Amino acid sequence: MRPLSSTVVEFLSGSEAETDRFAAALAPLLRPGDVVALDGDLGAGKTRLVRALAAALGCDAAQVSSPTFGLVQHYAGPLPLVHIDAYRLRDCDEFEELGGRELFEADAVTLIEWADRIAPSLPTKRWTIAAEHVGPTSRRYRVACPPDERAARLLAAAAGGA
Amino acid sequence: MPSVNDRVLLAVESSCDETAVAVIDADRRVLASVIASQDELHRRWGGVVPEVASRAHLERILPCLREALDASGRSLADVGAIAAVTEPGLVGSLLVGLTAAKTLAWTLGVPLVAVNHVEAHLYACRWAADGEPFPAVGLVASGGHTSLYDCRSTLDFELLGTTIDDAAGEAFDKAAALLGLPYPGGPALERAAVGGRADAVPFPRAFLHEPRLEFSFSGLKTALLYAVRGQPNARQPPPSITPERLADLAASFQAAVIDVLAAKCEQALAATGRDTLCIGGGVAANRALRARLEQLADRRGIRLLISPREYCTDNAAMAAIAWDLLEAGRVSPLDIDVTPGLVRKRDQNAAPAKLTSPAANASRR
């Protein structure tokens, strides 16, 4: 991980194992009520990162799959995850008419794939992770942390070689 | 239950983008099966849009109920039980069908039976069989599901494995979108593959030779993306998409999906020792998949039951499984809620499925 600004770090993952290590460094910074917006093209590694975070947070990672069809999936664990996919949504109106905001739970972390499609419906204080293709097995993840005390911890983790 | 047996089951299915109602008698004969598809609505958006889906269900559920009863030659007075698909699917869509079913069950004073959509897809294989389809290995492959089951009986399904990322039908849909093909992607990709070379592009086949009964189509999707748009930071642009290249890409992609589905079916047959293979879900309509599975069945000397084409895509006739549930006393209370996610039977006690309907969330708070 390398810092890009006071709240943004970048992680270049060369393998799935490295993505798992990146998620393990990120997971302790997440807390109940957090909303994580995940953006990136088809196949950029959004669902894979959710699986890695689920494993790092003690959820059953085998339960993680693409929620494109069903819109939302829940994973039980010490810190439960709500996994949303906005791929099939047209806009915020559709998300809100579906009761989408009801899905953000105070006792869980909400991870949203294709979040840019519904960005205005998301809380302004949120995590943003942009996933990008670099090569067939490598991905770049750019993480923007909410502007609170965790930013310093994220930068420390980045500086610590995580 | 002789008083019930001369009556009919009225079944409602609205888990995704079809509003479907069927009337089935106690001998599992389908007296009427009405399906109002929303493909035309979704084509504009390139996929199933949940809000469009639930609104359209609301508009279509009553006409579908009326049409199914009319077509069956029966009336509400003949209805002995109501079945509703309650899991898994889109929350808003499921709620429309379930609410209609509850209302009818309450006003008619007849039992309500909750049906699992995926299990119902496998039950539809009975119409391809001379007798009972189970015990069998069951594969349901569709836009939302790619799951292998050990089907011990119509009342006892164990999930053996499922996709760890995209469903097979979702992979077809997203591949079709990458190739500029229309929605629904499965049939469009199958047509585009005609005349193409299945070995033109060496697409990955995840877990093909591993013993795990799981699927992954995400890497395949990414490989197609690179084949279409080029590798990231590549020096040379990808080959241009001529009609021949499009057919090769479609045929190679389809072959990769089929190789994996067939291999995992074979592994599940070996692991369970079953001698029947049941196939359901929209992807089961794919002709190349059917041909491959017929080869597999011939080679292994097993019985292959592929759901009839009209029951591969979503329908309410397959909710005939409710007769089996009813005869076993599995009636649902009228306050039952929908369960959008895929429930793993063996995990049910450990981690109860969480209700995620907006109504359920609101009432909790």
The strand pairing partners of A131, in sequence order, are: A141
CATH code for the domain defined by B132-311: 3.30.420.40
Q: Give the pLDDT of residue B136.
A: 98
Q: Helix, strand or coil for residue B331? A: coil
pLDDT at B350 over 80: no
Q: Give the pLDDT of residue B50.
A: 56
Which among A15, A38, A69, A113 is the top mutation candidate for probing chain B, defined by the most B β-carbons within 10 Å of its own β-carbon? A69
B236 Cβ partners below 8 Å, 6+ apart?
B230
Which residue in the set A65, A133, A136 is minimally distant from B165, CB to CB?
A: A65
User: Please, which pLDDT band fits residue B343 given cuts at 50, 70 and 90?
Assistant: very low
> How far is CA B21 from its chain centroid?
16
- Long-range contacts of range B175-179, CB-CB < 8 Å, 24 or more positions apart? B175/B221, B175/B224, B175/B250, B175/B253, B177/A42, B177/B46, B178/A42, B178/B221, B178/B224, B178/B225, B178/B228, B179/B224, B179/B228, B179/B241, B179/B246, B179/B249, B179/B250
Model pLDDT for residues B247-257, shown as the tens digit of each residue: 999 999 999 99
Q: Give the pLDDT of residue B51.
A: 55
Arithmetic mean of pLDDT, B15-21: 85
pLDDT at B164 over 50: yes
Asked if B50's CB is within 8 angstroms of A99's CB, the reply is no
- Closest residue on chain A to B221 (Cα): A43
A68 CB neighbours in chain B (<8 A) are 166, 170
The candidate with the shortest Cα–Cα distance to A147, out of A125, A117, A128, is: A125
The candidate with the shortest Cα–Cα distance to B83, out of B356, B358, B318, B335, is: B318
Report yes or no: B35 and B13 within 8 Å, Cβ to Cβ. Answer: no
pLDDT at B173 over 50: yes
Domain A2-159 fold: Rossmann fold (3.40.50)
The candidate with the shortest Cα–Cα distance to B155, out of B111, B120, B129, B105, is: B120
Model pLDDT for residues A14-61, shown as the tens digit of each residue: 999 999 999 999 999 999 999 999 999 888 999 999 999 999 999 988
User: Please, which pLDDT band fits residue A106 given cuts at 50, 70 and 90?
Assistant: confident
A92 CB neighbours in chain B (<8 A) are none
Q: Give the pLDDT of residue B236.
A: 82
Model pLDDT for residues A128-143, shown as the tens digit of each residue: 999 999 888 899 999 9
Pairing of strands A35-39, B18-25: unpaired
In chain A, where are the structural domains located?
A: 2-159
> How many angstroms separate the CA atoms of A28 and A72, rounded?
23
Asked if B143's CB is within 8 angstroms of A65's CB, the reply is no
Shortest CA gap B357–chain A (Å): 8
> How many angstroms separate the CA atoms of B307 and B297, rounded?
15
- Identity of the amino acid at B170: E
> How many angstroms separate the CA atoms of A91 and A82, rounded?
20
Q: Give the pLDDT of residue B49.
A: 54
Asked if A69's CB is within 8 angstroms of B91's CB, the reply is no
- Closest residue on chain A to B234 (Cα): A135
Q: Give the pLDDT of residue B20.
A: 94
pLDDT at B355 over 70: no
A66 CB neighbours in chain B (<8 A) are 163, 165-167, 170, 218
The candidate with the shortest Cα–Cα distance to A45, out of A111, A118, A138, is: A138
Q: Give the pLDDT of residue A27.
A: 96
Arithmetic mean of pLDDT, A95-112: 83
> How far is CA A152 from its chain centroid?
19
- Dihedral class, residue B313 (left if φ above 0, else alpha if ψ from -120 to 50, else beta): beta
Q: Give the pLDDT of residue B2.
A: 42
A69 Cβ partners below 8 Å, 6+ apart?
A88, B16, B48, B143, B144, B145, B167, B170
Using an 8 Å CB-CB cutoff, list residues of chain A that contact chain B.
41-43, 47-48, 51, 60, 62-66, 68-74, 76, 87-90, 94, 97-99, 102-103, 133-136
CATH code for the domain defined by B4-122+314-327: 3.30.420.40
Q: How far is CA B298 from CA A47, B284, B295, in A?
A: 38, 18, 5
User: Please, which pLDDT band fits residue B53 given cuts at 50, 70 and 90?
Assistant: low
pLDDT at B325 over 90: yes
DSSP B163: B
Higher pLDDT, B315 or B93: B315
Q: Where in chain B is the domain with CATH 3.30.420.40?
A: 4-122+314-327, 132-311
Which string of DSSP letters, residue by residue, matches B3-34?
Answer: HHHTSEEEEEE-SSSEEEEEEEETT--EEEEE
Angle at the Cα of B118 (from B116 to B122), degrees rounded to 5? 110
Looking at chain B, the whole-number percentage of residues with pLDDT higher than 70 is 87
Q: Give the pLDDT of residue B58.
A: 83
A148 Cβ partners below 8 Å, 6+ apart?
A125
Question: Token pair 């089907």 is at which residue?
Answer: B151
Model pLDDT for residues A47-96, shown as the tens digit of each residue: 999 999 999 999 988 888 888 877 788 888 999 999 999 987 778 887 87
Q: Specify the DSSP element, H or E, that contains A129.
A: strand A127-135
- Identity of the amino acid at B252: S
Asked if A41's CB is within 8 angstroms of B218's CB, the reply is no
Which residue in the set B49, B222, B231 is minimally distant from A90, CB to CB?
A: B49
Arithmetic mean of pLDDT, B19-48: 78
Looking at chain B, the whole-number percentage of residues with pLDDT higher than 90 is 71
pLDDT at B309 over 80: yes
Asked if A65's CB is within 8 angstroms of B162's CB, the reply is yes
The candidate with the shortest Cα–Cα distance to B51, out of A90, A113, A82, is: A90
Asked if B88's CB is within 8 angstroms of A70's CB, the reply is yes
